Chain A
Amino acid sequence: MFRIVEKEFLSENVVRLIIEAPYIAKSRKAGNFIILRIDKKGERIPLTIADANIEEGTITVIAQRVGVSSHKLCTMNVGDRLLDVVGPLGKATDIANVGTVLCAGGGVGVAPLFPIVQAMKLAGNRVITVIAARNKDLVILQDEMRKYSDELIIMTDDGSLGKKGLVTQGMEEVIQREKVNEAVVIGPAIMMKFAALTTEKYDIPTVASLNTIMVDGTGMCGACRVSVGGKTEFVCVNGPEFDAHKVDFDEMMTRLNAYKNREAAGYSEYLKSLELVLI
C-alpha cells in the first residue's frame, strides 16, 4: 500500500504525487484531506486530496517544498512507498446546485480547489474559476481547471500569464459583471483574508478551506484550532471549510507561524547535511 505510482513537478517546488490508497480513493469526497508520514522519523503531514481514481485505487496529492518534511516528500520517486497514509479526513465540501459559483485559488491552494471546482461543475453549477500565482511558472493545474470551469481567469503578479494583478482583482471583475451565488476561496491565509473581504462587500456566501498546523488530524490534539465567529473550532474535525466571513485570519496567520523559526533552522540544517553527503 501507499506506493507512489506517478510523480510530476508542476513547478520548481510543487510536486504532484499519485499514491495507491484504494480505501481512501473510494471514500473521499471533495474537500477531504489525508495525513501522510514518509518514514519513522517523519512528521504527520496533512495534504488535501486533489483527485482520485477509484478503478486504479489511487489518490492525487500536491505538495509544496517548504521545509524538511515536504523536501523529503519531493525527493521520493515512483515505486517508493510512504510509511503511512490515513484519510479521508475532515468534512466534505457542501456541494449543491446553487447557480453560479466563483472559485478562487492562490498559489498551491489551487490544488485543493480543483476537486471542489470539479464537484461544483458536476452538480450543474456555472463555475467561474480564478487562479493566481506570482508568475507563469508557478501557475498550476490550468488545463484541469479549464476542463471543469465555464470560465478560467488566470492572474499573475507580474502579468507573465493571464492578467496582471491579484486574485481579488479577478474576483471583483466577475462579481461586477454577473450575479455570483456562492464563492469558494483557497490559498495562503493572507490571500483568503482579502478574498473573503472582497466577497463580503457583495454579501456573497463564501467558504474558505483552512490549512492549519495539525498533528493527528482526528480531533485529538487541537493544534489546528481557529476562531470562527468568536468560537474556537478544530479544523480537522469541524472543517477544513468554514464561513470565510467569520474566520479570524489574523489569528490563523499567527498560529501558522508557531514553529516557523524552528522549522526554518531545521530546514537549513537539513539542507546542509544533504550537501555534506554529496561532498
Chain B
Amino acid sequence: MEELDKEYYKAERKADWRNKLRKEIKSKDRTKGIRVQMPESDPTIRNKSNIEVNKGLTLEMAMSESSRCLDCVVPTCISGCPVGTNIPKFVKYIESGDILGAAKVLKENNSLPAICGRVCPQEIQCEAECIYVQKLSKEGSAIGYLERFAADYERESGNSSIPELAESNGVKMAVIGSGPAGLTVAGELAKFGYDVTVFEALHDLGGVLKYGIPEFRLPKDIVDFEINTIRQMGVKFVTNFIVGKTATIDDLKGEGFEAFFIASGAGLPNFMNIPGENFNGIQSANEFLTRVNLMSGADANFDTPVHTGKNVVIVGGGNTAMDSVRTAKRMGAERAMIVYRRSQEEMPARAEEIKHAIEEGIEFINLVSPIEYFADENGMVNKMRVQKMQLGEPDGSGRRRPEAIEGSEYNIDVDSVIIAVGVSPNPIIQQSMPELETTKWNTIKVDDDMMTSIPGLFAGGDIVRGGATVILAMGDGRKAAHGMHKYIKKTVLV
C-alpha cells in the first residue's frame, strides 16, 4: 500500500459515521461472530441445470457478516486486492444499512463488482490478508460474498449508479478486447474523460466472461448488466472487429485514436501433443465451453453442435477444468471425470470449485496423466491410456513435480475428452506487428505503466501474463489506464 493511500484510508476511517459505527459493538464482541455460510443450490438439482450454484446472502446475513469486520486502523485487506477496492468502507456501509452506498464505493475502483464478487479467488487475496486470518487464526471476513451482495442489491434495486466522470477531453482511446482487462481500462478511461471505443473480435462482448465461465457460476445477464453500466459511461463497443486484421493499429491512428490498450487474452489452447490427440471427440476446454456458453450449443434450438458423452474425461486441475467437467455433468455425463497429474492438494482450481464439483458427483482421478488416445473405426475416441504418477521434489512453481511410475499404465473408457491444460497468448496482434517486443512465451512485454515497446501502445491481462485470473487482468487494466492517462498528459494534452 502506498503512503498516500494509507493517509487517505486513515482519514476516511475517521469519518463520523464510521467512528460511531465502530463504537456500537465492541471489537471483542465482533470477533465472536462466525463467518457466514453462502447459501447454495441443492447439488443433485443444480448438476442437471444451469441455475446459479451460489445463491447469494440475504440482507440479514450480509449485515451480520459485515459487523464481523473490525474496521482496522491498517486495512491490510486492501493490499490483497489487485484493484485496490476500499474494502472496510464498503463493508461498513453494509453494516450501516446503506447498501447502495456500499455499491458506489465498489464502483470507485471496480467496474465489474458483481463479477468479481463471484469469480475472484478472495481466499488467496483480500480475505487472506484479513486480520482474522493474519492475527486471530479465524476465518476471514467474507469480503467476496459481501461484494457480490452489494452489487446484486444495487442491480436488483433498479437504482444503479454510474460512477462520476471527469469532463470530456475529446481524446480518442482504443481498447482491444472486451474481456475483464479491456472492460476495466474502458471504465477507468471514461472516468478520466476520454472518448473510449472497445473493439471485440467475437460477436458478443465480455471475452472469457462470456465464452469461458459457465452460466451456473456467472450468469450472462449479470455480465451484460455490468457492460451496460460501462456503456452508460459513454464507452462505445464495436463487435466483429479484429484489430490487426479488420484494421491495423496504424489504420486506427489514422482515425484519430491516440493510445491503445491490447487485451486480446490468452486465446490459444494448449494440447499435450500425445498420440491420438486429434481424434474426434477430443477438444480443448475453450472449444467445449465456447460451443456451450457463447454459441448455446447445448440448447437444441441453436444451430451450433457440441460434442459430449456418457464417459467424459477432463484433463487438468484448474478452474477451466472444473468449469468444463461440471458443464459436461450438466449435459448428462454419467461419469464426469477429472484426470489430473498431481494430487488434489496441488490443484490450481479454487477450493470452492473443487468442493462444488465433488458435491455434484464429479470423479477425481488424481496422480494420473494421459499418454495416448484410441478411437473407433470412425475416428471417434473410445479409450484413453493413462499412466500413474507420484510426486517428487518441488519444481519451479513450488509444487511437487509429478513423476511417471513405469509399468502403471491402464485404460479408461471414454467417449469425450476435454483438454484443459492451459492456454497461450493469442498470436494475432503480434503477427500483425512484428516490431512489438514479446517474450519467449509470445506474451507482450510491458513496463511499469503497462506500456509496450511501442509508445502509446499498452497491454495487460492474459496477453501479458499468459493465463491468469479475471481480477489480475482487471488490476492490469487499472494500472494501464493510469499509465495511458499519464502518457496522454505528456504527449497530447500538453
Contact = CB atoms under 8 A, between A and B. Distances in A.
B241 A219 contact: no
Interface string B368-396: 00000000001100000000000000000
B269 A221 contact: yes
Contacts of A88: 245-246
A223 B283 contact: yes
Contact of A232 (B201, B239, B278, B281): B278
A219 B303 contact: no
B295 A215 contact: yes
B427 A221 contact: no
B278 A227 contact: yes
A271 interface: no
A254 B245 contact: no
A266 interface: yes
Identify the interface centre among A86, A226, A237, A259: most chain B CB within 10 Å of its CB. A86
A141 interface: no
Nearest to A86: B240
Interface in A165-223: 215-216, 218-223
Interface string B216-248: 000000000000000000000001111001111
A61 interface: no
Interface residues of A, number: 41
B426 interface: yes
Interface in B285-327: 286-287, 290-291, 295-296, 301-305, 307
B296 A41 contact: yes
Given A220-B426, A232-B278, A84 B305 contact: no
A255 B280 contact: yes
Nearest to B287: A221
Contacts of A255: 278, 280, 379
Contact of B203 (A37, A258, A263): A37
B428 interface: yes
Contacts of A216: 201-202, 211, 267, 290
A67 to B, nearest CB: 9
Given A216-B290, A255-B278, A257-B379, A86 B304 contact: no
A88 B203 CA distance: 14
A222 B287 contact: yes
Highest count of chain A CB atoms <10 Å: which of B202, B248, B273, B301: B202
A33 B291 CA distance: 21
B284 A68 contact: no
B286 A85 contact: no
Interface string B315-344: 000000000000000000000000000000
Contacts of A220: 211, 267-269, 286, 290, 426
B293 to A, nearest CB: 11
A130 interface: no
Given A232-B273, A258-B307, A222 B283 contact: yes
Contacts of B302: 41
A84 B269 contact: no
Nearest to A45: B303
Contacts of A237: 268, 427-428, 431
Interface string B340-378: 000000000000000000000000000000000000001
B242 to A, nearest CB: 6
A116 interface: no
B246 A257 contact: no
A24 B426 contact: no
Given A44-B295, A218-B428, A258 B246 contact: no
A87 B248 CA distance: 12
Contacts of A24: 246
B287 A254 contact: no
A219 B267 contact: yes
Contacts of A218: 201-202, 242, 267, 426, 428
B273 A221 contact: no
B246 A87 contact: yes
In the complex, the 5 A-B pairs of residues with the closest C-beta atoms, listed nearest first: A254-B379, A221-B287, A220-B267, A86-B240, A84-B203
16 contacts: A27-B247, A44-B203, A68-B303, A83-B203, A86-B240, A220-B269, A221-B269, A221-B287, A222-B268, A222-B284, A222-B287, A232-B277, A254-B279, A257-B379, A259-B307, A263-B305
Interface of B: 201-203, 211, 239-242, 245-248, 251, 267-269, 271, 273, 277-281, 283-284, 286-287, 290-291, 295-296, 301-305, 307, 378-379, 426-428, 431
Given A42-B303, A219-B426, A257-B379, 9 more contacts: A23-B241, A41-B301, A41-B303, A216-B202, A220-B290, A225-B271, A254-B279, A254-B379, A257-B378
